[in-house]
RNA sequence: GUGGGCGUAGCUCAGCUGGUUAGAGCGCCUGGUUGUGGUCCAGGAGGUCGGGGGUUCGAAACCCCUCGCUCACCCCA
């Protein structure tokens, strides 16, 4: 077809739009209960915001960003994720002194990946970021909020929480060295891809799906054994506070994050219902990020969730409001019907007024838009100053005075 | 970026090893019913068979290229 949307993008039609809007509405409302207020950052940033923070060896930076020069010659990038821009906004607006800061955001992200179900080049995320809380309570709050949102979306049974700790930079370096040393002894058994990752991004080998890699990794050094005392204590605290709250999780020592700015807690809410695109909400702690952007030393922790993936998991059909259909019969009634429609809409009713047709056609339309009631006005009603209200579920009809039509229709208000 | 599967009406799909006017169900439109919807009945509209090239007397079908979807790898939300 000649007119198709750009690969990896698509039109979100009302049916799906309702679901996605519901995901966003529930997320933002729940976030507000925890004190997280909405922030919106631009859809593109200077490229440096991303390539200096996500990690120069990461796939997103090396081959997935939509980067272009604008007319001034500046290198700009369509945001591939939401955390770095929010951190940038904190620095740009000098917000750090008001810490702790709690933000919720929602909007499109862009990554040039090979499209698949639940994986698009323009994707939509909701996310939260908490700045200025150095202790485990921050991690716990953010995870609890995520779990709460999933619960309200009815997805608790479809999703499990996996947890790991990447430790502080010292622990991370120690583990990295140990892992690289171990893997070099088992080079022959590694997949070709993992071999190239060995010096660029060795931690990535941990979550390889290659069976040979998995076997080697399973017998190798475990991340948790390399956490230094403060890092281990931090992780223990996160776990026991989650236990207190009854948030279920399982520790996965091979869980790592895609971006370099993460440390300590890393977590993912995963589903088995979406094939290879199982991660539905993921995040962690990023204590060095704000500083990497030139800001003050300000710890942070947060997560992002894929709106498409979440709405794909919601199997309940979306509920659409049922309008009231106003149907004029004959030409003289048409003008009155328009005025009544206008008045009812101003009183908060959802009202459908067809554009043409006789009574039969208009009733068909009323049925098609799933109207709950029809307000009919013909010559008889016009003369008497009333309207016939037909309940479209029961078929019962009553006659109501035009002057208090709204009162008579009260039970049909959505 | 790599490999596999698939693109026929708005949707879901038939169409046998190439044979001439490309079908069904659902949906849509019209009428039966110009003061009463859903059901039912009758009729109708709608397709450059994803696009381009090739093979052939003849291509929706075979070949090549291309675009897109999909699954896995990869990556990640």
Supply the CATH number for residue A351's domain: 3.40.50.800
DSSP H/E element including A406: helix A405-408
Protein CA at A155 to nucleotide C1' at B1, angstroms? 34
Cα A189 from Cα A208, distance rounded (Å): 13
Tell me how far apart the alpha carbons of residues A175 and A224 are, in angstroms, rounded to a whole number.
9
Same domain membership, residue A399 and residue A256? no
A147 belongs to a structural domain: yes
Give the residues across from A263 on adjacent strands: A285
Total count of domains within chain A = 2
Q: Each residue of A109-154: pLDDT tens digit?
A: 999 999 888 899 999 999 999 999 999 999 999 999 999 999 999 9
Residue carrying structure tokens 């992002």: A304
The reply to whether A388 and A257 lie within a common domain is: no
| Residue A406 shares a structural domain with residue A261 | no
* Contact, A324 CB vs strand B, < 7 Å: no
pLDDT tens per residue across span A223-236: 889 999 999 999 99
**Which DSSP symbol is given to A394?**
T
A149 and A56 within one domain: yes
Residue A306: Cβ-neighbour burial (10 angstroms; 0-12, 13-18, 19+): buried
Strand B contacts (CB < 7 A) among A residues 129-148?
Answer: none
What would the pLDDT profile of A239-290 be if each residue is shown by its tens digit?
999 999 999 999 998 898 777 788 999 999 999 888 888 899 999 999 999 9
Last residue of a domain, one of A313, A345, A374: A313
The last residue of a domain, from among A254, A279, A313: A313
Query: Does residue A131 sit in the same domain as residue A89?
Result: yes
End residue of a domain, out of A313, A348, A371: A313
Whether A364 and A292 share a structural domain: no
In a domain, A162, yes or no: yes
Q: Do A116 and A26 reside in the same domain of the chain? A: yes
pLDDT tens figures, A59-81:
888 788 999 999 999 999 999 99
Backbone conformation region of residue A122, classed left if phi is above 0, alpha if psi is from -120 to 50, else beta: beta
Tell whether A160 and A233 lie within a shared domain: yes
Burial label, A307 (beta-carbon count in 10 A; 0-12, 13-18, 19+): buried
In this model, does residue A212 exceed pLDDT 80? Answer: yes
Structural domain containing residue A330 = 324-412
Helices (H), A46-168: 48-51, 59, 83-92, 136-152
Beta-bridge partner residues of A386: A401
Confidence of residue A2 (pLDDT cuts 50, 70, 90): low
- Phi first, then psi: give them for residue A7, nearest 5 degrees: -50, 135
Of the candidates A133, A132, A139, A134, which has an alpha carbon nearest to the alpha carbon of residue A238? A139
pTM exceeds 0.95 for this model? no
Q: Strand B closer than 7 Å to the CB of A209?
A: yes
């Amino acid at each position: 077809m000649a007119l198709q949307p750009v690969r990896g993008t698509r039109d979100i039609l009302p049916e799906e739009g309702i679901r996605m809007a519901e995901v966003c509405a529930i997320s933002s409302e729940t976030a507000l209960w925890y004190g997280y207020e909405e922030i919106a950052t631009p859809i593109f940033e200077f490229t440096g915001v991303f390539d200096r923070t996500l990690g120069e060896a990461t796939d997103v930076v090396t081959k997935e960003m939509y980067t272009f020069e604008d007319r001034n010659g500046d290198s700009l990038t369509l945001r591939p994720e939401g955390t770095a821009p929010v951190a940038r906004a904190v620095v740009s607006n000098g917000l750090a002194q008001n810490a702790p800061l709690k933000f919720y955001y929602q909007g499109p992200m862009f990554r040039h990946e090979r499209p698949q179900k639940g994986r698009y080049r323009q994707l939509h995320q909701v996310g939260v970021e908490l700045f200025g809380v150095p202790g485990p309570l921050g991690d716990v709050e953010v995870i609890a909020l995520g779990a709460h949102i999933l619960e309200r979306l009815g997805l608790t049974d479809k999703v499990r929480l996996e947890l790991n700790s990447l430790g502080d930079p010292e622990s991370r370096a120690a583990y990295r060295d140990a892992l690289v040393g171990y893997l070099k002894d088992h080079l022959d058994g590694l997949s070709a891809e993992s071999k190239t990752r060995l010096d660029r991004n060795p931690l990535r080998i941990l979550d390889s799906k290659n069976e040979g890699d998995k076997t080697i990794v399973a017998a190798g050094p475990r991340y948790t054994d390399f956490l230094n005392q403060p890092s281990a204590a931090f992780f223990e605290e996160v776990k026991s506070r989650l236990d207190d709250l009854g948030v279920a999780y399982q520790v996965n020592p091979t869980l790592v994050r895609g971006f370099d700015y993460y440390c300590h807690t890393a977590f993912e809410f995963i589903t088995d219902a979406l094939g290879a695109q199982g991660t539905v909400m993921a995040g962690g702690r990023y204590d060095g990020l704000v500083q990497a952007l030139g800001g003050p030393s300000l710890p942070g922790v947060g997560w992002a969730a894929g709106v498409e993936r979440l709405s794909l998991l919601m199997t309940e059909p979306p509920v659409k409001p049922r309008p009231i259909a106003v149907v004029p019969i004959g030409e003289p009634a048409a003008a009155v019907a328009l005025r009544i429609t206008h008045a009812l809409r101003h009183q908060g009713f959802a009202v459908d007024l067809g554009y043409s047709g006789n009574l039969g056609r208009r009733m068909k339309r009323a049925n098609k838009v799933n109207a709950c009631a029809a307000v009919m006005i013909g010559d008889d009603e016009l003369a008497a100053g009333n309207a016939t209200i037909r309940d479209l579920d029961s078929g019962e009809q009553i006659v109501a005075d035009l002057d208090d039509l709204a009162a008579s229709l009260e039970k049909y208000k959505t």
